[in-house]
């Protein structure tokens, strides 16, 4: 991550003035996250698949009139899910010991488990981009590079009889912070609004890797941004 930042600073400062076109961008979009699922006994494992709002800041520069480099930081809101499951647990009561075995009276209380999972994604993308003019004021931009990802996963569990007013197991939570790297690719349009202002709708796809159950997955990010060229 430090090498990517250092490399961008060198390019921003060292590019010849005739070829340099530095810009900054602020954007808003969505995190659409999908990760692996494990199914056992007819139940899915709790995963924080879902969508959340994401904010981004980026800076970049053109190295030539057709390609350049960029660094983007994106942080999303929490993706949250809640799973509820009911489990019948048979208990024996009123069993009478007799010479002839009696049929026991079986009650089946229902216990309910509640699992709340959440995930917050943050990435730092270091990318190269190439432009394709499609008009006097519009360029298509193809980009690709590497994403440095940080994810914070939280799992909270509670176990309660449905007829009870309080849980028999107090809520407890586990938080895991995972770091990983993976490729990122995207497509966007740069629409010239004024001499300096640029409207940038686009989409990026991350393949985020990690370790353990709080590992990686696919992260799709549609967004719209407003840029300023210097």
Determine which of 25-29, 59-63, 109-113, 193-197 has the lowest per-residue pLDDT on average.
109-113
Which residue, chain included where needed, has tokens 């904010």? Answer: 55
- What does the domain layout of the chain look like in residue ranges? 2-85+110-229
- The segment with the largest mean pLDDT, out of 32-41, 90-99, 171-180, 220-229, is 220-229
What pLDDT does residue 117 have?
Answer: 86
Name 125's bridge partners.
72, 147
What pLDDT does residue 81 have?
Answer: 82
pTM of the model: 0.72
Q: Domain 2-85+110-229 class?
A: mainly beta
Name 58's bridge partners.
25, 72
DSSP letter at 130 equals E
At 210 the three-state DSSP class reads coil
Residues 21-54 pLDDT 10s: 899 999 999 999 987 665 555 555 567 788 999 9
Tell me how far CA of residue 54 lies from CA of 51, 97, 198, 217, in angstroms. 9, 66, 20, 17
Mean pLDDT computed over every residue of the chain: 78
Residues 84-101 pLDDT 10s: 765 554 444 444 444 555
Q: Which residue has the higher pLDDT, 60 or 136?
A: 60
**Cβ-contact 84, 111 below 8 angstroms:** no
* Torsion of Cα atoms, 63 then 180 then 83 then 52, to 10°: -20
What pLDDT does residue 18 have?
Answer: 32
Q: How sure is the predictor about 180, in pLDDT bands with cuts at 50, 70 and 90? A: confident
């Amino acid at each position: 991550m430090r090498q990517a930042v250092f490399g961008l600073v060198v390019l921003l400062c060292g590019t010849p003035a005739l070829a340099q076109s530095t810009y900054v961008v602020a954007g808003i979009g969505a995190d659409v996250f999908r990760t692996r699922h494990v199914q056992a006994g007819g139940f899915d494992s709790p995963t924080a698949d879902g969508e959340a709002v994401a904010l981004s800041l980026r800076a970049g520069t053109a190295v030539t009139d057709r390609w350049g480099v960029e660094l983007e930081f994106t942080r999303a809101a929490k993706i949250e899910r809640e799973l509820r499951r009911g489990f019948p647990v048979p208990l024996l009561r009123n069993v009478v010991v007799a010479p002839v075995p009696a049929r026991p009276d079986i009650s089946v209380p229902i216990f309910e488990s509640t699992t709340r999972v959440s995930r917050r994604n943050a990435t730092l993308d270091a990318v190269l981009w190439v432009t394709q003019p499609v008009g006097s004021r519009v360029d298509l931009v193809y980009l690709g590079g590497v994403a440095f990802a940080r994810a914070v996963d939280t799992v909270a569990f509670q176990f309660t009889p449905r007829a009870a007013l309080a849980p028999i197991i107090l809520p407890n939570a586990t938080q895991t912070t995972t770091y990983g790297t993976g490729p990122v690719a995207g497509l966007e349009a740069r629409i010239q609004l004024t001499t300096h202002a640029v409207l940038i709708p686009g989409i990026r796809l991350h393949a985020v890797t990690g370790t353990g159950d709080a590992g990686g997955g696919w992260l799709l990010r549609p967004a719209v941004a407003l840029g300023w060229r210097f």
